[in-house]
Amino acid sequence: MDIHVIALFPELLEPFVSASVLGRGVEQGLLRVHPVQLRAFSTNKHRTVDDTPYGGGSGMVLMAPPVVAAIESLPVDPSTGRRPHTVLLTPQGRPFTQATAQALARRGSLALVCGRYEGFDERIRAYVDEELSLGDFVLTGGEVAAAVVVDAVARLLPGVLGNAESALCESHAEEGLLEHPQYTRPAEFRGVAVPPVLVSGDHGRVARWRRWQALRRTRERRPELFARLALTDRERAALDGDEP
């Protein structure tokens, strides 16, 4: 997959994508991250890409001409005649979720447009395919948000993770559930032992225990996610009883 990052500081992503799992994906040719320096599309000698907002106010606003020029410079796929699916990273976008990451991972290429300063000229929105937000907070720049999106998407690409099943058994991957508790050696740590079911060798019982724990944890920690689950009456009743 090709991911183009349009930003004032796209180099911030270079060490991030060269390390660990993403680095292996890059080495294997499964992931290619292309930095696009926004200042290269400035139309003045000072290479400025921002200006004061019409109507007054604090801060500076990214200008439409350089941002749109950067978007329009992206390569066109000869088989489809289309540029990469372009995402504007903004606190005003719809929430970025695991389902969103899965949808983006199915696309052949992406472009992430990162903001800085006070925001974007409103006319830029007409040149992107969607707007995404990491949450109800504001960052200094979109490069950090781009790193998060790259990581969440890249790890879903076939071959990037050493064990493909890892992405199927974690929080938000199945039905929106939080992941069940995990344990590893030692079998006992400071008086707390691993639950006996996990060393029972009964795989069916282990699976039931993990689902029960995932449901309980989701209900306790993220009730809004739990409310969306389509559970049977038996499952709901079991949650208030002892462990299966």
Residues 114-169: tens digit of each pLDDT:
998 889 999 999 999 999 999 999 999 999 999 999 999 999 999 998 765 555 45
User: Residue 203: which CATH number?
Assistant: 1.10.1270.20
pLDDT, position 162: 72
**8 and 111 fall within a common domain:** yes
**81 and 202 fall within a common domain:** no
Domain boundary among 105, 121, 154: 154
pLDDT single digits (tens) 175-187:
789 999 999 999 9
Domain boundary among 105, 124, 154: 154
**190 and 128 fall within a common domain:** no
**71 and 138 fall within a common domain:** yes
Interatomic CA distance for residues 162 and 25, integer angstroms: 10
In the numeric block, the tokens 């696309």 are attached to 107
**127 and 177 fall within a common domain:** no
- Asked if residue 6 belongs to a domain, the reply is yes
**132 and 208 fall within a common domain:** no
pLDDT, position 69: 98
**70 and 184 fall within a common domain:** no
Count of structural domains, the chain: 2
**190 and 111 fall within a common domain:** no
- Asked if residue 80 belongs to a domain, the reply is yes
Domain that holds residue 145: 2-154
- Asked if residue 138 belongs to a domain, the reply is yes
User: Residue 40: which CATH number?
Assistant: 3.40.1280.10
Which long-range CB contacts under 8 A does 52-59 form with residues at least 24 apart? Answer: 53/118, 57/118, 58/118, 59/117, 59/118, 59/119
**193 and 140 fall within a common domain:** no
- Asked if residue 124 belongs to a domain, the reply is yes
Edge to edge, the sheet with strand 130-133 lists 32-37, 2-7, 109-113, 85-95, 130-133
Region 102-111: mean pLDDT is: 96
- Asked if residue 147 belongs to a domain, the reply is yes
What's the pTM?
0.88
Structure tokens at 22: 């993403």
Side-chain-facing half-sphere of 194: CA atoms under 13 Å? 13
